A and B are shown apart, each in its own frame.
Chain A
Amino acid sequence: MKHVTAAFCQYTLALLAVLALNFLLIHMMPGDPLVHILGEEGYYQMTRQPPAYIEKIRETYQLNDSLLKQFLSHILRALQGDLGWSHHHGRAVIKIILPRMGWTLLLLIPSVLISTMAGGTLGALAGRSPRGRLDRVLTPLFLLIYSVPGYCLGLFVLILAFHVDALPMGGMPSGITDMALYMMMPMGVLILHSTAYKYMIMKNAVLQEIHEAYVMTARSKGLDDRGILFGHVVKNALPPFITVVAMHFGFMMGGSLVVEMVFSWQGMGTLIYDAVISRDYPLISGGFVIICASVILANALADVIHGCLDPRIRSGNRFNE
């Protein structure tokens, strides 16, 4: 129970920290905070209005109140889903972000699941027999893939696709049917890259576990190698592996933003890029908050799974490391 409370506190704090950072960026940067609240375009439109109107806008955004009060209302509004108004798009930020976030998650969640399964299984198999055939082939390959930046991998794939000319070079699917076709390349890159990472993590976890004494106990009961690997070793290696997968989710999120750009996938990456180019500050910070919230959520979820898988944590015997 202690573990759950502590973890919950930590995630709440992290979310608060993100919101605080957001607030600080808006209010502590030199210049008029209204630029950051309205975005450059909105601010420009506003400056052409009469001073009374400007004052009214200041009033609506409570800019004349104390900072603490502003901060509290900022958090309250954010928690209610009000992340501001994008003048560039002429819509509420949250309404712009959510569908784009959907596209990103469409790309991301299958990648996370597939890479976790593939990386985990391959890593476990390779860890079972170090210096075996699987290990010798996969380890250098995955080390290579992991070391190359994700978007460079994407560019390689793109260049390849350009010369082969079999798959769409990027862009968005128009219907369900060609969805797979368009998703294949960006997702492939994401999967490949994170499979490499998870493979290495799992392999090392299994390598460590395989020397534990309980493995010998299991062998002395006449279990075969496969039974020991999946019945005993993986069960122990899985909880920390899940935690790593969750932590890597944030990294993948960042990576997918760049990969989206490579394949012009209309997700969060391109949205934030456009927002940065047009200096649409509400959209930038809103996107940031949503991304962070989703990463924090993923980590919290992983913590719950971790707790279910590891009885030592469930009963509160082992807190953190």
Chain B
Amino acid sequence: MQELLRTEKLRKYFGVVSAADDVNLTLYKGSLTSVIGPNGAGKTTLINLLTGNILPDSGKVFFNGEEITRLPIHKRVKKGICRSFQIMNIFPKLSVYENLQIPILSYLNRSMSFYRPAHSHADANELVDQLLQEIGLTDKKDLPAGTLSHGDQRLLEIGLAMAPEPKLLFLDEPTAGMNPVERVRVLENIRRLSIEKESTFVIVEHDMDIVFSLSDRIVVLHRGQILADGTPEEIRQNEDVRKVYLGEEIFWEKK
């Protein structure tokens, strides 16, 4: 198993609250890891630290052997790290098509092109059409993104995260608020990418069905620390985890 990302004693404090407390985490190429934990455990903070949205107080982050601890977001994206957001971050005034054009043009290093019209870049158009099909929004491509339904916006959000063909993709509650059909679509995309492009995934989820059925590995966070880390089976048996999720035992029943 090849190491893709590694953190060393990652720390982030907000005042006296430790959102990340000496976190040592290693992610392996091609794996799908779920990060779970009660609210306030530090899941989003961890993703923020790894993707560059916030910088740590101390500690280091390595990607493919290179240190990226303080690297700005756009440079991490170029190295192959991307994410989707819990709160949607689409381009509301632009059409769905244009939304996807932006990261794809950037991926093809065409963003600085200022003379030829954006729609004349045929290779970019092909990739956008392909992506539209994969997330199932082809028939809505000319609508302003802000007018889409919540579920469709989430699909677009995931499409935007996938657009730069990342090696490591963080999905923050990707299926929140989605209906079953949309949920299946998202999961299929994740599975497909994981197989076709050997993408590595880190997913923050509350839906335990997804977590247990999809993950190779589960990391449980509690108050900024890693409480448990292992295969779904191991986590299911873990006493500490059960304690932390007191009252939610129905999720641990095998289906």
B and A form one assembly? no
